[in-house]
Chain A
Amino acid sequence: MPCVAAATNRATAKQCLPDDAPLRRTSCVNYRQDLADTEPVEENPAITSAVPPRKASITAIAYHLPLTSLTNDDLVREYPDWDVEKIFAKTGISCRRIAAPDQTAGDLALEAGRELITAWGGRRDDIDLLILCTQTPDYALPTTACILQDRLGLSTTCAAFDLNLGCSGFVYGLAIVKGMLETGQAGRALLINAETYSKWIDPDDRSVRTIFGDGAAATIVELVECSDGPDPIGPFVFGTDGRGYDKLIVHGSGARGLEAPGLACLREGRRADRLFMDGPEIFTFTIRTVPRTVRSLLEKAGLRMADVDLFVFHQANSYMLEHLRKQCRIPQEKFFLSLEQYGNTVSSTIPIALKDAADKGALKDGMRVAVVGFGVGYSWAAATLIWNGQPSCGE
């Protein structure tokens, strides 16, 4: 299946975008506090339109992993019939990090958020939107993001909510943040992805224990001045197919689990409060969906494969990713992998990989990245990003 953008009569994304003048005015009036302090631009359309539009852009990422490691050697020591080489060959993972028994996604999110705010150097009072993407919240209620607002010392005028999505969650989070920032509903967002699937994993279930690791990633998204180039974040494509809901599921994790007499009931030979993954079905879903999604994204963005400098897919497992890479015809050097030391951290894999790619020099300012998340739901989403908001001059 070739993955080049098909010939199309559709206009490119840039042409499809509405005139950004109203947007420009809104963001400047309400949220350019630095400018508002010195220039009374509100009532003067001439001045307003001279200011470059402000668009949402990722300005900082940090991640936090729990201390405990689970290596392939550890797994083989526990289960002598397992094979270190085979586990690595089939997953590309050497080590997963596992949360302590008393450590929750909220705790990991707190650490990632703290580290990020320090590294970012901005004022925490300026953060007025906090989104926590997790499927292992500290409580069914209250919302973990509300608790985090207090634990992170964010302003009480900060909007905060949880987003329940898995592997597509980072891309969805960016879409929501972009929408809220560019329509003037918020000025500075902290998006945190945090997951502790280990809480639901049966120690004897090789299919999931070899793959998933716990972790959290925090991302700051702010409005940056953005002249003519493409948006720093977007366009996006999304997709959902709820028919696959039971292919990656914890049956006893919500209200539907209450129908059963306690969580210890057995379902398909396993406890209902354990994570179940149908690997072959998930793999087939990704084969069916991901190449098509990449194609749609390029088409919507008016790009060719060669226009993308780096592809960062959800780091599911490297065996699957290598297959998808070939099916999409993405050159190896443009396909970033970063799961060997952490495993599949669900919605954190993409921001972790972006940070690692930037730290290793694989991702440089001005580069165009395509991020693609896919998995539990089934749910998927993809977007293009310009790293650090400004396209490089060479393009």
Chain B
Amino acid sequence: MTRTEFLEELALGLNEDPEDVTPEAELESLAGWDSTGMLGVIAMLDGDLGVTIDVDRLRSCRTVQDLMDLASDKLE
């Protein structure tokens, strides 16, 4: 998965406009980043990228870039 695809998938998972889901975007500012949105991210990290999830680390993410960093070694 490329970084661009990651952002597209994330926008889909969070039910957000792809234009709003940039690496700099604050997760707090995205309405889709609630507990159900988090489930979408978990499904994506586990299913599409094979990342082992640590919910505490996921919760400590502040920006979209932080989420991407969780999967950095799986992204092209």
Interface residues of A (CB under 8 A from B): 1, 86, 90, 207, 278-281, 283-284, 287, 319-320, 323, 326-327
Contacts and interface: CB of A to CB of B under 8 A. Distances in A.
14 contacts: A90-B39, A279-B38, A279-B39, A280-B35, A280-B38, A280-B55, A280-B59, A283-B43, A284-B55, A287-B42, A319-B39, A320-B39, A323-B46, A326-B47
Residue among A1, A287, A320, A326 with the most chain B CB within 10 A?
A287
A141 B74 CA distance: 53
Residue among B36, B43, B53, B59 with the most chain A CB within 10 A?
B36
B58 interface: yes
A27 B43 CA distance: 48
Given A284-B55, A287-B53, A90 B36 contact: yes
Contacts of A1: 50
B47 A327 contact: yes
Contacts of B59: 280
A205 to B, nearest CB: 10
Contacts of A323: 43, 46-47
Nearest to A210: B36
A97 B15 CA distance: 29
Majority SS at the chain B contact face: helix
Contacts of B53: 284, 287
Nearest to A207: B35
Interface string B28-50: 00000001101100110011001
A202 to B, nearest CB: 14
A317 to B, nearest CB: 9
Given A280-B38, A284-B53, 11 more contacts: A90-B36, A207-B35, A279-B38, A280-B58, A281-B55, A283-B43, A287-B42, A320-B39, A323-B43, A323-B46, A323-B47
A266 to B, nearest CB: 19
Contacts of A280: 35, 38-39, 42, 55, 58-59
B15 A287 contact: no
Given A90-B36, A207-B35, A284 B47 contact: no
A207 B39 CA distance: 11
A323 B55 CA distance: 17
Contacts of B58: 280
Nearest to A87: B36
B35 A284 contact: no
Contacts of B50: 1
B58 to A, nearest CB: 7
